[in-house]
Amino acid sequence: MTQVQRSQSTLRVRPLSGHIGAEIEGLDLASLALDNRDNEGFATLKSLFLQYQVVILRNQTLTRDQHIALGKRFGDLHVHPMAKGPEGYPEIFPIEADANSSNDPKDIRGGKRAVNGGHWHSDVSCDVEPPLGSLLYLRDVPEYGGDTLFSSGYAAYEALSPALQSLLEGLTAVHSGEATYRLHYGHQAAKDRSQFGFKNGADYPEAVHPVVRTHPETGRKSLFVNRGFTREIVELSHTESQALLEFLYRHQETPEFTVRLNWTPNSLAIWDNRCTQHRAIFDYSGLARRGERVTVKGDRPYFSETASAVEWGLVG
């Protein structure tokens, strides 16, 4: 565990794996959410978020408004194309699983609630401007199970041979929400988010993004394809596309590039959707897992050949 000195206190940071993930102690998120003058505290949190890609802070007491206020310190908030938030809170994405939940499409068609995030994905990568990051606050967690796996797109990209990196850097891929959202939400129409500044209107969101994207803040390159939303590589035949995507999916799921996040009640995790993907493990059938997610708007992914990696302490 390392220590980060602030003017008023010392934060303790414990890395959780070799490439991704850290636990932070000594930061009161409720105070940080409501006090915009604490620029030092937020700058420290933001720096650790960029370095470790996903961070978790435990034993936090956050109201819904404080959760939203904390998210807004990272940027404008995202509105999900399908999920409905509590009355008056369109930016809230409810997380709820219980005895009536399932990951099985047959059960879901039969009326059971779909488990959120049960397959590898990057949050709403099908948007033209996918989310920058997500802040998930879990109040209730199962007695056992319910962990979340995260994978580093940085580590996965950097482990590829230069020849394959060069090939991927010239490719783009279609990301579509239709198949995933039809499974989870039946034939419910996508929400018209135009009032919130989104360009997809009421259609299922779809976009074309680079297979390798450059992080706009760190300059590092990351793989940007995922099982949940990526459908095909534009420049390849269908057979070539499916074969290459399956290789990239499996490559990103390599254990050495991942971290397994264990939840405790009243924990908040913040992750960077620009360079990670994740999967919530549904191994707690019959038990409850409840919380809420606030998601931050991002910008359009791009690839820059001239961008150079910034040393954030976890390169290689």
Q: Where are the domains of the chain?
A: 2-296
- How far apart CA 184 and CA 291 sit, in angstroms, is 18
- Which candidate in 38, 80, 123, 220 is catalytic? 123
- Which candidate in 193, 274, 278, 289 is catalytic? 278
Task: Tell which residue, 137, 85, 107, has the closest CA to residue 285.
Answer: 107
Catalytic status, residue 278? yes
- How far apart CA 37 and CA 14 sit, in angstroms, is 26
- How far apart CA 131 and CA 127 sit, in angstroms, is 8
For 42-84, how does the pLDDT look when each residue is reduced to its tens digit (9 = 90+)? 999 999 999 999 999 999 999 999 999 999 999 999 987 777 8
Distant-in-sequence, close-in-space partners of 109: CB < 8 Å, separation ≥ 6: 186
Catalytic status, residue 121? yes
- Which candidate in 19, 121, 279, 289 is catalytic? 121
Kindly indicate the confidence band of residue 121, based on its pLDDT and cuts at 50, 70 and 90: very high
* pLDDT mean over 20-42: 91
Residue 316 has pLDDT above 50, yes or no: no
CB of 81 closer than 8 Å to CB of 68: no
Looking at the DSSP bridge assignments, the partners of residue 176 are: 206
Q: Which CATH number fits domain 2-296: 3.30.465.10, 3.60.130.10, 3.40.50.740, 3.40.630.30?
A: 3.60.130.10
Residue 40 has pLDDT above 80, yes or no: yes
Kindly indicate the confidence band of residue 313, based on its pLDDT and cuts at 50, 70 and 90: very low
Task: Tell which residue, 79, 77, 16, 89, has the closest CA to residue 269.
Answer: 16
Helix segments in the chain, DSSP class H: 29-34, 39-52, 64-74, 105-109, 153-158, 162-168, 178-185, 238-252
For 199-240, how does the pLDDT look when each residue is reduced to its tens digit (9 = 90+)? 555 577 899 999 999 999 999 999 999 999 999 999 999 999
Catalytic status, residue 123? yes
Kindly indicate the confidence band of residue 251, based on its pLDDT and cuts at 50, 70 and 90: very high
Q: What mean pLDDT, rounded, does the chain reach?
A: 88
